[in-house]
Amino acid sequence: QKEVEQNSGPLSVPEGAIASLNCTYSDRGSQSFFWYRQYSGKSPELIMFIYSNGDKEDGRFTAQLNKASQYVSLLIRDSQPSDSATYLCAVSSEYGNKLVFGAGTILRVKS
């Protein structure tokens, strides 16, 4: 079983819709959770992090964490074609010092 699992996609949503990206992890000791965006041929860039159960909002992005279910998600509201990318979920049991990445979910936003 992989430590961090994501649906590889692609997830296709129309422009303006809400995109919902999901991630599950196996290590119950995980303490911090990150979402990175990676455009094709580019390197990952951090877009959100969350440490506590519940929701965290930043502009059009909302991260949701449920430690009991070992589940973290990323919602993108008002999706734009420029959001089309691979979204990587990363989990750490060392306050971010050692990240374990999922394989990523490909998101396609169609105009």
Smallest separation (angstroms) from other proteins to the CB of 47: 11
Selected range binding other proteins among 10-18, 36-44, 52-60, 63-71, rule: CB under 8 A? 36-44
d(CA 99, CA 90): 6
Give yes or no for residue 54 binding other proteins (CB under 8 A). Answer: no
Helix (H, G, I), strand (E, B) or coil at 46: strand
d(CA 79, CA 81): 7
Cβ closest to other proteins, residue 4 vs residue 109: 4
Q: Which helix (H) or strand (E) holds 105?
A: strand 105-110
Footprint of other proteins on this chain (CB under 8 A)?
Answer: 4, 8, 32, 34, 42-46, 49, 88, 90, 92, 94-104
